[in-house]
Amino acid sequence: MVFFCGANFFINNDEWKLYSQSDLARKRTVPVSEKLRYILVDLPEFARVCKNPESNEAKWLYLVAKAGNEEVLPDFGDPVFERAADRIRVNSASEELLKRQAREMVTQDEIDVRLVDAERLGLQRGMQKGLEKGMQQGMQQGMQQGMQLGMQQGEKKGRGEERESIARKMLAKGMPLSEIADITGFSEKEIRALKKS
């Protein structure tokens, strides 16, 4: 097969196929499979001479010949060739360029996911710290309230015991129940109960 790229340049190619040895011995040249074939292309001056390829074959050969050698590959106006050219650009790009592009390709979705994760983590940490602080404050407040309540109950109990002691002393001196009730605040019934105990 011969095709032209430009006015005075051509490309030669050859096809190789697989044949069975027994078929060759019988001088039968039928390939084992039409699908298994190798196409050899000779491109000794293609990259230098072919500037504006027109056929699809010439465009493919141009991309293969120029892969990694040119800064700008031509726009052939065909999405298939554009995807191939993009792959060539990526495969021939420097490591530094690829890293820079990867950093620049952070999408809004990635940013949103990172923000949600950060918010969730912040909320968890805040809740944990708040719980710890709340427990600490609650324990302190509980201790203070407990101490106050204990002191009030102790004071009340102490006053009650003191009143009982005074009422007993008055009873021991033979004072009338009405006077003891008036001074201590106990009822006469409570004073009689003290007298029996």
Domain ranges (residues) in the chain: 2-94, 106-142, 159-197
Question: How confident is the model over 21-46, as a mean pLDDT?
Answer: 74
* pLDDT 10s digits, 73-131: 677 788 887 887 777 766 666 788 777 777 777 777 788 888 999 999 999 999 999 99
Question: What does the angle CA 160 – CA 164 – CA 169 come to, to the nearest 5 degrees?
Answer: 150
Q: How confident is the model at residue 69 (pLDDT cuts 50, 70, 90)?
A: low
- CA-closest candidate to residue 165, choices 196, 194, 190, 189: 194
Whole-prediction pTM:
0.31
d(CA 128, CA 137): 14
Query: Is 177's pLDDT higher than 70?
Result: yes
